[in-house]
Amino acid sequence: MTEYKTMDDLGDLQGKVVMLRADLNVPMDENFRITNTARIDRTVPTIKELMAKGAKVVVISHFGRPEGKGDMKNSLSHITADLAKALGKKVVFVDDCIGDKVTAAIKSMSHDEVLLLENLRFYNEEKKGDESFAKQLAAPADFYVSDAFSTAHRAHASMVAAAKEKPAAMGRLMAEEVNALEAALSNPERPLIAIVGGSKVSTKLDLLNNLVKKVDKLVISGGMAHTFMKASGTDTVNEANSLVQMDMLDTAKEIMATAKANDCEIVLPLDVVVANEFKPYAEHKTVDLAHIPSEGWSLLDVGEKTIAAICAKLDESKTLVWNGPLGVFEMKPFDNATNKVADHAAQLTTAGKLMSVAGGGDTVSALENAGVADKFSYISTAGGAFLEWMEGKELPGVVVLKK
């Protein structure tokens, strides 16, 4: 992490006020109960370390989409109890994130408690990246620490402008995330393989165009593979039985040409699982590409030949980057390919033969469904930021923390 400022660069924190930009945008049910505490849990080590160094920790975050208006549905007050439980410390909630209330609460807080401020997005100025709002936000702090990699692709006031107001650094979670992604894409041990899924080619053009210039092997899966199959001559794939995008065939051919020019091997399905209905346990069968039914059946997964081929490619690789499932993993048994390939990658990782990094909402869910999320080298919970990093874009919330 020599390129970025980390908490080790901040010096003595005893008695200092540290403003921590976290991502506490956790899923919540209609009764305001948190259904997954992962984002809270993952920022706890940073908070505990700052407290152990004598700092007064003030946590700021966005939550939901309040569009500049305060409302109880999107209040961070609902997070207080779970954050306190995760920390084992008292958490005091302040129903604003700037102004006199915040200043007074900081003055009266003890070193054994944490302040949680109200939702940043109750102010439109947050999303606009407003410098005046950032000054008010950072005013009570001595230092600024960012642990919100998942929001680093947005130049919001709390992510960029506030970091310029005070000595700033990455928290442990953000540093861990950037380290993992740099090891996977910027300076990987080769051969480097990527698995990319998703329903449409059009949503991942930037990603595919960047990866074919960086990776040694690219497995294209999910619905987007249908377009590449058609573009590479699989005439049995059509709009009635697949998610092929006919208007993207030339684009797919261009991506394959770029891959060839950069010595990137593209891996496409050898066989597919087709079903006669889009529902769990629908009647299904595995067919080779020449025998895909023209209508009445839909491509929902890849078959055992494809699974074996992908696993063989993993065996030859040293680094894996994964974004997107291989099939319709939300419905059994069409999670079969995703589960088997994920398990194989996990085994290679556990054996020390593969460095594996995965991210994106569907990807995390798919790996959790496969029961191997804890066996990958790193799982990123950052959706948009993870994708933009993989697309080769600079993230404003990361760039601002360069030395």
Q: Hunting for tokens 């995390």 — which residue is that?
A: 364
Query: Nearest CA to 248 among 233, 231, 235?
Result: 231
SS3 149: helix
Q: What is the 3-state secondary structure (H, E, C) of 174-237?
A: HHHHHHHHHHHHHCCCCCEEEEECCCCHHHHHHHHHHHCCCCCEEEECCCHHHHHHHHCCCCCC
Angstrom distance (rounded) from CA 119 to CA 76: 6
Judged by phi (left if over 0) then psi (alpha if -120 to 50, else beta), residue 200 lies in beta
Q: Hunting for tokens 């080619």 — which residue is that?
A: 201
SS3 68: coil
Helical (H) or strand (E) element with 103: helix 100-108
Residue 266 DSSP label: E
End-to-end CA distance of the chain: 10
Task: Report the residue count for the chain.
Answer: 403
Helical (H) or strand (E) element with 368: helix 361-369
Phi/psi of residue 275, nearest 5 degrees: -130, 150
Active site residues: 39, 200, 361, 384
Query: Nearest CA to 156 among 401, 398, 402, 396?
Result: 396
Query: Do 90 and 105 form a contact (C-beta atoms < 8 A)?
Result: no
Give the count of alpha carbons within 13 A of 61, CB side only: 26
